[in-house]
Amino acid sequence: MPELPEVEATRRGVERAAAGQTLRELRIYDARLRWPVDPTIPAQIAGLRLKAAQRRAKYLLLVLERGTLIVHLGMSGSLRILPADTPLRKHDQFDLLLGNGTTLRFNDPRRFGSLHYTLEDAARHRLLQHLAPEPFNAHFDAAYLQRITRRRRVAIKQVLMNSRLVTGVGNIYASEALFRARIHPRRRAGRLSGKECARLLRAVRAALTAAIRAGGTTLRDYVGTDGNPGAFRQKLYVYERDGQPCRRCGTLIRRITQGHRSSYFCPQCQPK
């Protein structure tokens, strides 16, 4: 599933390839995404200029000179920059044809992605207005992390994965951040000290930043990945590395299950 770094890498790719371009046409091949695509969008946006690509959590915001397109990659979506005459493949859902003869093509085999258009402030759109703060937001600081963990009896991993409290961390980077912060995934959230909260905040940002960089360096025409962390996989410390030696101390990485998701950790570097 594309997590925040993949969406951010996609945003950067779109920004590089498409900012300043005119949207010649939106061609919808299959409107049956997570929510049916509004059939009036093509007429509303034709001829508008794409000013910038922004991101809020895992939503990609294509800011037009009037209104904003809101794209979600869902479980399996990807956006690619292609010459406009590239033959369609299975699961290509829509094309955003640009003035320079290229297209932003959306492919999504599982169709959990989405496309919306809004004329209002995108931050107030119903999909975005209730999102929790994300790790790069200034409001998301050590004090915030302390506030949301305090008095919570659940494991810290589950707080990081709770999208009503934190958005955009996801399973891979929750495990990676806890390793970097030397905190056991089963530690009770409410037991974290202020120092540990500060360390964890830095670790979350560092894990995401490293992944964004790796995504950003491997991308060319492929502006997004298909949910595979790709080159970054070789740099992961613990995620899906159970049974392999810890990159820091050599102890074998372990896997446990928390809330139906796998967590990975080093028992030596992350004592309980």
Q: Does 254 bind Zn ion (CB under 5 A)?
A: no
With residue 268 as reference, give the H or E element that holds it. none
User: CA 94, CA 33: separation in Å to the nearest integer?
Assistant: 10
**181 contacts Zn ion (rule: CB under 5 A):** no
- Using the minimum distance from each CB to Zn ion, give the nearer residue, 163 or 251: 251
Choices 4-12, 136-144, 206-214, 258-266 (CB under 5 A): range interacting with Zn ion: 258-266
> What's the closest the beta carbon of residue 269 comes to Zn ion, in angstroms?
3
One of 58, 80, 180, 199 is an active-site residue; which one? Answer: 58
In the sheet with 102-107, reading across from the earlier edge strand, the strands are: 23-28, 92-98, 102-107, 78-83
List the catalytic residue out of 3, 8, 176, 196: 3
Within 213-252, which residues bind Zn ion (CB under 5 A)? 246, 248-249, 251
DSSP 8-state assignment for residue 252: B
Compute the distance between CA of residue 178 and CA of residue 196 in angstroms, rounded to an integer: 10
Question: What minimum distance in Å lies between the beta carbon of 12 and Zn ion?
Answer: 32
Q: Is residue 266 close enough to count as binding Zn ion by CB under 5 A?
A: yes
Pairing of strands 59-64, 114-118: unpaired
What residues pair up with 56 in beta bridges, in sequence order?
59
Binding flag, residue 269, Zn ion (CB under 5 A): yes
178 part of the interface to Zn ion, by CB under 5 A = no
Nearer to Zn ion, 262 or 268 (CB): 268
Relative to beta strand 23-28, strand 50-56 is unpaired
Rule CB under 5 A: say whether 183 interacts with Zn ion: no
Q: How far apart are CA 152 and CA 13, in angstroms?
A: 39
Tell me the site size for Zn ion, rule CB under 5 A. 7
The DSSP symbol for 38 reads P
- Which residue has the closest beta carbon to Zn ion? 246
**How far apart are the C-alpha atoms of 213 and 271, rounded to whole Å?**
29
**Contact between 268 and Zn ion per CB under 5 A:** yes
Which residues lie near Zn ion (CB under 5 A)? 246, 248-249, 251, 266, 268-269
Catalytic residues: 2-3, 58, 261
